[in-house]
Structure 1
Amino acid sequence: MDLLALADFVTVAQHGGFGRAARASGRPKATLSRRVSDLEAGLGIRLFERGARMLRLTEEGRALHARAGALLTELEETASAIASGGARPQGRLRISAPVLFSQTAMGKLAARFAIRYPQVRLEVTTEDRPVDMIEEGFDLVIRVNPDPDANLVGRVFLRDGLAIVASPAVVRPAQGTAVPAVIRGSSNDVRTWSMTGSAGRTDLVIDPVLSVSSLTMVQDAVRMGVGVGRLPVSLVSHDIAAGRLVHWGDADVPPTQLWALYPSRRLLSARVSAFLDFLKEAFPMGTAEELAAYLAD
């Protein structure tokens, strides 16, 4: 396969058109068009759907772009490392991370990573939605309990649980009596929380008096005595130790897992590998207690 034609295809795909790719690369538009056509002919597939006013990658084009882009980046990094006599990660690293993890830990992680690897241009986007890594150009995404995706591989780097906590001012009710509660999201049909404590497994009857959109808002309201809340162990362990919150029990729900996901194990860039190793160094056991200590550091 002609690597120059492949590089021209990636350039056109990244810029969304032959004209924009020509202006960005300084190469003639006709040359880019001819090389992409030659690549399509050699592969026997159509890589772009061409219209009068638009150019769109086909399914095969998207698959080739995802893999070819990683391959060319790896080749470029390897050549640069050889030329400089080292293998330090460099270049742009785009990461998408969930809101709560970003608010509590990602800022510190990103800053420490940037200090260690000054030649990497780290970009962190905060959002809970399931981004399309290929279409949106992310190198790595951090997700909570992600759905299986055949196009992504990754590893769990943290596990956390949920604790049911309240301010010392909130009196624990008798069995079957409702207690005011602060919840995240809609209050529809939320009436009981199952929990495990010193008395075994019980159902806590709740009255959702406040619904908010983030767990940090839940934490603030629970600290102020609005009601009982269900929060990550890593987020409340220091409040419990300091007496600001009382631990009523552990929520009887599956554990929360934080995954670092990327498109392929093959041709993994030095930047992504360095960040994965950095996560492992920060959380070697991947426990809620480690995350709580990291937040308090």
Structure 2
Amino acid sequence: MDLLALADFNLVARHGGFGRAARASGRPKATLSRRVLELEASLGVRLLERGARSLKLTQEGQAFHARMAPLLLEIDETVAALTSGKGAVSGRLRISAPLLFAQMALGKLAASFALAHPEVRLEITTEDRAVDMVEEGYDLAIRVNPDPDETLVGRIFLRDRLAVVAHPTVARPADGEPVAAVLRANPEGPASWRLKGNKHIAIEPRLYLSSMVMVREAVLGGAGAACLPASLVAYDVAAGRLTLWGDLDTPEIAIWALYPSRRLLSPRVSAFLDHLTAAFPKGTPDELSAYLVPAANP
């Protein structure tokens, strides 16, 4: 099968038309059309539905594009690594990351990575959903406690835990008495927090907020107690702005860096993984919390 024809089909499919693909690649529109026709003839399958003003992939074309696009990208990356002699770190790097981790650390991490690798065009999208990395074109995804996925591989680079904290003016309740609580989630959450050591704190929900950062701000304002990642509140506890009541008796939080298992590890993905390892050598909550410490005044 002609590799150039595959690449031309992938180009047309990605740009949604021969004209746009021609403008993006600088190749003649007629050449692209001819190469795709030749590919369809060799496969015996129609890949594109050609209308007077529009073009769309057939069902077979969609399936073919979904499988071929990552393979062609892998070939391009392999050739680039081989011809560079030592795997030059350059090109586009798309990363998906959860909102809280992005708010805490990714701004600084992105800046230091950009300074170290100026030839990489880094693009970071923050969202808490599990993206389809191949379908949506991501090179790396940062996920918290991800479900098993045989199409992805990666490593844990950070561990965290959940802690119950409150403003110093909020008194810790006696056994069985509820405390005003600031919660993230729906109103059908737990009626109490179980701390390590088999201690329970009954809660009376006061606020429901949609982000951990909002919950932390509300607790700092004295609205009640909350269960938050230790990394998010460690600096506040050390500074005396919050009081630590104990760690929640739940499994640890594992933060993973993942990439598609069928794709070779590109130099830019490898470089970002190394950057994460250098930033969090021990992978502890305190290392992540350090990103929230204000810079010292000169």
Same fold at TM > 0.5: yes
Equivalent residue letter for 1:63: R
Cα deviation per residue 1:48-90 (whole Å; 9 max; x = unaligned)?
A: 35253342242232011122123224324543x24xxx64301
SS of match in other structure, 2:198: strand
CA 1:234–1:36 in 2, change beyond 3 Å: closer, same or farther? same
Q: Cα offset for 1:47? A: 7.8
**Alignment partner of 1:287 is 2:275:** no
Match of 1:234 in 2: 231
Q: Give the distance between the partners of 1:213 and 1:104, measured in 2 at CA.
A: 16
| 8 Å contact kept, 1:95–1:141 | yes
Q: Cα offset for 1:273? A: 0.8
CA 1:46–1:244 in 2, change beyond 3 Å: closer, same or farther? farther
Q: Give the distance between the partners of 1:24 and 1:255, measured in 2 at CA.
A: 47
CA 1:36–1:49 in 2, change beyond 3 Å: closer, same or farther? closer
| 8 Å contact kept, 2:151–2:262 | no
| 8 Å contact kept, 2:177–2:202 | yes
Q: How large is the RMSD of aligned CA atoms in angstroms?
A: 2.1
Equivalent residue letter for 1:117: H
| 8 Å contact kept, 2:231–2:288 | yes
The sequence identity of aligned pairs, in percent, is 56
For normalisation by structure 1, the TM-score amounts to: 0.89
For normalisation by structure 2, the TM-score amounts to: 0.89
Match of 2:65 in 1: 61
| 8 Å contact kept, 1:96–1:141 | yes
* Structure 2 stretches lacking a partner, 5+ long: none
Matches within 5 A, 1:67-82: 67-76=71-80, 78-79=82-83, 81-82=84-85
Matches within 5 A, 1:63-102: 63-76=67-80, 78-79=82-83, 81-82=84-85, 87-102=87-102
Match of 1:146 in 2: 146
SS of match in other structure, 1:169: coil
Number of aligned residue pairs:
289
Match of 2:192 in 1: 192
Equivalent residue letter for 2:56: L
Match of 2:275 in 1: 278
Equivalent residue letter for 2:235: H
CA 1:248–1:50 in 2, change beyond 3 Å: closer, same or farther? same
Match of 1:262 in 2: 259
Equivalent residue letter for 2:49: R
